[in-house]
Amino acid sequence: MMQELLFTRSNGQTVAYFDYGQSQNVVFFHHGSPSAGPISPHIRRNADANGFRIIEVVRPGYGSSTAIANRSVNTASQINLDIADALGIENFAIFGQSGGGPHALASGHLAGNRCKAMLIVAGIAPFDDPNFDFAAGMAEGGREFWNLPLTSMEDFELSVSKMATEWSSYNFNQFKEVLNVDPEDPISDESILSFQVRGQYSFIQGAHGLRDDRLAFLKPWGFSLEEISLPVQLWAGTKDVNVPPAHADYLKRKIPNSELLIVENKNHSTISEPAVESGFKWLRGLFDSHS
């Protein structure tokens, strides 16, 4: 299994990360909520195929990363740069998936010219825009979970704690059920096994990471999407009821130099493979054009 690496920030906080590959061309990966842990095989294969080293930043509260109370989306920005500085990486791209999307955008915004481009797959849009219906198109359970901290913090705390306990003990078949496998768009056993390992790693400290992610998403992100000037590629699946394609469409309208690719008949679990395959080729082309 891929080894978890630890980095200590100047304030004493521990940040876990996973580092795969030897290339000087680096992509920083911001994982979903919750989906931290050893980098998925299909991501590693595409990193190899396109000559990338990929480094996954484990957000506070997940794995062995120190939890940070009341953190914001923007908190991850400086953590990303701290790791880049410590590893002597001057320029890089950023990849964010699902709940990692906002954190990836925040990190790219702060990095400025150091970041060549961003790849966002099924990324979440801001919650606080009154002109955007955040929950439209979501499954009923998803809508309820997002609204829970707004109606009852006690029930929200119980819900995330229950999820942490269950996922920590789920076997392969239980994770397969969690992924809501679509018979017309099957998920490989390899991907389910990776999700199981990552799901269990995510809750090593209990529910801190997921809890703090969700509360951070409900607050302003701390930067303006309109200020992002670097290239951004956005991906969504038409069958995604976790993060509906309307989120990617919203991001496309707000981020000036962005393109949107919507894939038919892909859901939240299956959009990653085609998006990563094409997205890494796109990133490779941008790296080559700047070399």
- Distance (Å, whole) CA 199 – CA 170: 9
Instruction: Specify whether the CB–CB gap between 179 and 192 falls below 8 A.
Output: yes
pLDDT > 80? residue 180: no
pTM of the model: 0.96
Which region holds residue 88: left if phi is over 0, alpha if psi is between -120 and 50, else beta? Answer: left
H helix or E strand, kind and range, residue 120: strand 115-121
- Distance (Å, whole) CA 17 – CA 3: 9
Instruction: Specify whether the CB–CB gap between 25 and 15 falls below 8 A.
Output: no
The backbone torsions φ and ψ at residue 95, rounded to the nearest 5 degrees and listed phi first, read -125, 125
Mean pLDDT, residues 90-119 taken together: 97
Residue 43 CB neighbours (<10 A): 23
pLDDT > 90? residue 178: no
CA 149 from centroid of its chain's CA atoms: 21
* pLDDT for 142: 87
Mean pLDDT, residues 101-119 taken together: 96
Mean pLDDT, the chain, rounded, equals: 94
Confidence of residue 1 (pLDDT cuts 50, 70, 90): low
Among 64-68, 170-174, 190-194, 287-291, whose mean pLDDT is lowest? 287-291
- Distance (Å, whole) CA 87 – CA 110: 18
The residue count of the chain comes to 291
For 12, residues 6+ apart whose C-beta sits below 8 A from its C-beta are: none
Helix (H, G, I), strand (E, B) or coil at 278: helix
Q: Give the architecture (CATH level 2) of 5-290.
A: 3-Layer(aba) Sandwich (3.40)
